[in-house]
Structure 1
Amino acid sequence: MKTLYKFVALAGVSALTTSCFNKENPNYQLFPNMYESVAYETYSESKAFPNGKEGQLPAKGSIPRGFEPYEYENTPEGLAAAKANLNSPLTEVTPEDLEEGKKLFGIYCAICHGDSGDGKGNLVKKEKFLGVPSYLDREITPGSVFHVITYGMNSMGSHKNQLTQHERWLVTEYVMKLKSEL
């Protein structure tokens, strides 16, 4: 008789636990937002900003943190002014600075200008770019080299987003060293 009671109790408990299970609507969720987050559309209107459509703009005249202004414009006149007036802020160039400049030159410049600055880099040899100047043929100053690295010229693009201002000056010093060796 006891086994019959045990069997009936076991069947009752099993019926109760399985009868509450529903695959379409599972058990209670204590933190439903963790499982079913609200979907947001990219570039959609938002109540997070005062105008409802876009983020807040920075104040006029503000300068981003870490930004160092460069006073010469991206014009031929700006290049001429930089060539005549701009000097390196690096007071004393150490061999470590030249080594760092060589490393950066190898990464960003040598593919076109060549390892020695002769204008015969791998892309020029493969005729992907033509007319890359040799530093020997050009009258360059530290100011003009820095200006061209910053803004680019002809087929050469700007490198101000890839190199910090200090790194551009290191590359400039290395280019001037290459020119003196040609």
Structure 2
Amino acid sequence: MRRVVYSLTALMGLSSLLFSCKDDQKPNYQFFPNMYESVAYETYSESDAFNSPNGLKRKEGQLPAEGTIKRGFEVYDLPNTPEGYEASKSLQSPLDSLSSNMEKGKELYNIYCLSCHGDKGDGKGKLVQREKFLGVPSYKDRAITVGTVFHVETYGLNAMGSHANQLSKKERWQVAEYVMKLKSEL
């Protein structure tokens, strides 16, 4: 009989320990509460990451150092002016015979240029045929060089936008060489 009493007393003590701390009105302690109730950040909102201890807003930590360029960026010295376009006429492709790849130039031309300039460079691409863009010239009618094509790819001209963000410097030279090949075939 004693054994039963001790067992019941131990069971009641254990159950009181387990259930006495449970309170539905107050949640228990949460480990890593930010995982359950995350901090909501607004897109493009100001950040307190670079605030100084005295409360002043400092943006110097978010700006690149003056005079620096991003890694992998290659500087193109000619300005986006009519004078820069004229100066680009004397530019020659810096690609050697191993880097000059007509197949790659054709592939990139088909991706970025074909829809307006057409597969032969005659200015009769799909967008021109559907009258989305008008006045796209034929390469045959233009006094272009490999340097001016590269310049226009870099900065854009008239309705044509810049392709400097989509194509690397080497790829722009490859497309320019392919455009000159198309011009010679017209």
Q: If the length of structure 2 is used for normalisation, what is the TM-score?
A: 0.83
Q: Residues 32, 179 of structure 1: CA spacing in aligned structure 2 closer, same or farther, 3 A cutoff?
A: same
1:60-79 to structure 2, matched below 5 A, reads: 60-79=66-85
Secondary structure, counterpart of 2:16 in structure 1: helix
RMSD: 2.5
Letter matched to residue 158 of structure 1: S
Q: Which residue of the partner structure matches residue 12 of structure 1?
A: 13
Q: Residues 49, 27 of structure 1: CA spacing in aligned structure 2 closer, same or farther, 3 A cutoff?
A: closer
Are 1:45 and 1:53, in contact at CA under 8 Å, matched by a contact in 2? no
Alpha-carbon shift at residue 158 of structure 1 (Å): 0.3
Secondary structure, counterpart of 2:149 in structure 1: helix
Letter matched to residue 169 of structure 2: Q
Deviations 1:41-85 (A, max 9, x none): 6543536366633234333322322111111111111111112x2
Letter matched to residue 65 of structure 1: R
Are 1:115 and 1:121, in contact at CA under 8 Å, matched by a contact in 2? yes
Q: Residues 113, 53 of structure 1: CA spacing in aligned structure 2 closer, same or farther, 3 A cutoff?
A: same
Which of 67, 81, 92 pairs up with 1:87?
92
Secondary structure, counterpart of 1:58 in structure 2: coil
Secondary structure, counterpart of 2:65 in structure 1: coil
Alpha-carbon shift at residue 149 of structure 1 (Å): 0.4
Alpha-carbon distance between aligned partners in 2 of 1:171 and 1:81, rounded to the nearest angstrom:
20
Q: If the length of structure 1 is used for normalisation, what is the TM-score?
A: 0.85
Deviations 1:141-170 (A, max 9, x none): 001100000000111100011111000000
Alpha-carbon shift at residue 179 of structure 1 (Å): 0.7
Residue segments in structure 2 that go unaligned for 5+ positions in a row: none
Calculate percent identity across the aligned residue pairs.
58
Q: Which residue of the partner structure matches residue 119 of structure 2?
A: 115
Which of 163, 167, 174 pairs up with 2:171?
167
Q: Which residue of the partner structure matches residue 59 of structure 1?
A: 65
Q: Residues 28, 74 of structure 1: CA spacing in aligned structure 2 closer, same or farther, 3 A cutoff?
A: closer
Alpha-carbon distance between aligned partners in 2 of 1:9 and 1:108, rounded to the nearest angstrom:
80
